[in-house]
Amino acid sequence: MASPDFRGSTGTTGISDDHRAPVREPTAGADFDHHSPELTEPAIWDRYAEMSSGCPVSHTNAHGGYWVITGFDEVRTALRDPETFSSAAGIRVPTVGEGRSIPIDFDGPLHAMYRQVMTRAITPQKVREMQPYLRELIADLLGRMVAAGGGDFVAEVALPLPLRVLTQVVGFSAETVDRLHVLTEQQWKVISDVSLDEARRDLRALMDEEIARHRVDRPDDYLTWLLGAEVDDRNLADDEIARILLTLAIAGHETTANASSNLIYTLATDPGLQQTLRSDVSQAAAFVEEILRHRAPAQMFGRTTTTEIELAGVSIPRGEHVLLAYGAANRDARQFADPQRFDPDRGRVGHLAFGWGVHQCLGSALARSELLILLQTLSDLPPFTLAGNAEFGSLAGGIHFGPNYLPLAFE
């Protein structure tokens, strides 16, 4: 059977702009723009609270118009219904270029088959086997910072950590990993006027180089296994393999880097939390879950409705772009008491930082493991504070949230 069409656009869902139902003109959120440079720390949390104080479903006129879902129950409802809230037209709003990411921009059986192939890279057994490597790597990165008295946590720990881990998870060479960060940063700057495929051109070339290297050298790793993997009773095409690698490379380091930076920023601005952790390191897992709720590394993803649907009493027409605001849902006062406060004693958090249902983040177990070991290692190191102002930019790609610069000083 032939490989699927990767051109994207609304044609992949059978949704036509000519058959859209009329859109009402709500007032709440009418000027919301998740690509705005003003939507950053700390204004982003106030904006979420403002939008969530009334109806959890609103409409904005930005980027041609789209719906924003801020309520916890409503976001989870949408995530549980991928047939109505489809990913096949792309998970970025507005839709960018014609490239489709695997498995993110697919629904149904093909999504399930792609996901099964990708799960092979990060099985629970693989995560367990990586524990000694992770502990050694994290201890080395933090040790260098402490020995220097401090530094920029983002540049010296948050980014190198997940990038180095990719060599173990996928089988990328060290040279490939060194080039990944700059290239992924370029592709997130695209909004609508430049093709996403064009922005990813150099990234794609890098993936093609790795595929060619593995066909010749045949190292014993995931990428070599992927060369012989099958979906739908056929071998994966090189184009599919490259798109799978792009997803692992981009999602594999952006999410963890932002999550760890958000965690350290929170601890650096509250010495009491550091003391709590040092006095009882068994609370580290609770700290991890609370930071994922409190400062989700991926704040929102898009969907497209395949039929008219009512959500929170609001009728959303067929063929509409819908933004599922994970970050706002995780601070929904209807779900969490005092949601603006970081509170590791909440108990079972049940956040949506890694999504929900069939599109839940593939690497969530690995990300949690990295964050947990980071905290356990920090508990044995000297206290630290901010050595200057942390710098937050706008949401990268309208999705990713975390500091770009995080200067620390260790006692």
Q: Is residue 360 part of a domain?
A: yes
Quote the pLDDT of residue 15.
Answer: 42
Whether 2 maps to a domain, the answer reads: no
Query: Quick check: is 401 in a domain?
Result: yes
Euclidean distance between CA atoms 333 and 374, whole angstroms: 30
Residue 198 is predicted with a pLDDT of 61
pTM of the full structure: 0.90
Write 128-137 long-range contacts (CB < 8 A, 24+).
Answer: 130/165, 130/168, 130/169, 130/366, 130/369, 131/369, 131/373, 133/168, 134/165, 134/369, 134/370, 134/373, 135/373, 135/377, 137/161, 137/164, 137/165
What range does the domain containing 179 cover?
Answer: 10-410
Residue 203: predicted pLDDT: 85
How much is the pLDDT for 21? 41
pLDDT of residue 18: 42
Q: 340: closest CA among 290, 301, 302, 390?
A: 290
Residue 11 confidence (pLDDT): 38
Phi, psi (rounded to 5 degrees) for 102 = -105, 135
In a domain, 109, yes or no: yes
Closest to 24 (Cα-Cα) out of 75, 65, 72, 71: 65
Report the CATH number that the domain containing residue 16 is assigned in CATH: 1.10.630.10
3-state helix, strand and coil shares in percent for the chain, rounded to the nearest 5: 50, 10, 40
Buried b (16+ CB within 10 A) or exposed e, 51-72: bbeebbbbbbebbeebbbbbbb
Total domains in the fold of the chain: 1
> What does the pLDDT read at residue 28?
53
Q: Answer whether the bond into residue 103 is a cis peptide, omega within 30°.
A: yes
Cβ within 8 Å of residue 282, ≥6 positions away: none
pLDDT reported for residue 187: 58
In-domain check, residue 274 = yes
Helix, strand, or coil (residue 58) = strand
Measured CA to CA, the distance from residue 81 to residue 248 in angstroms comes to 24
Which pLDDT tens digit goes with each residue over 346-388? Answer: 987 799 999 999 999 999 999 999 999 999 999 999 999 999 9
Average pLDDT per consecutive 10 residues, the chain (411 residues; last block may be shorter): 53 41 47 92 94 91 94 97 95 73 93 96 94 98 98 95 93 89 63 53 90 96 96 94 92 90 98 96 97 97 97 96 97 95 90 95 96 97 97 89 97 91
Asked whether the beta carbons of 231 and 112 are under 8 A apart, the reply is no
Q: Is residue 119 part of a domain?
A: yes
Quick one: DSSP state of residue 18? G
Looking at residue 148, what is its pLDDT?
Answer: 97
CA angle at 222 for the pair 220 and 228, rounded to the nearest 5°: 90
User: Is residue 379 a part of any domain in this protein?
Assistant: yes
CA 191 to chain centre: 17
**Assigned token pair, 324:** 């599922």
**What pLDDT is recorded for position 397?**
81
Q: Assess if residue 281 is contained within a domain.
A: yes
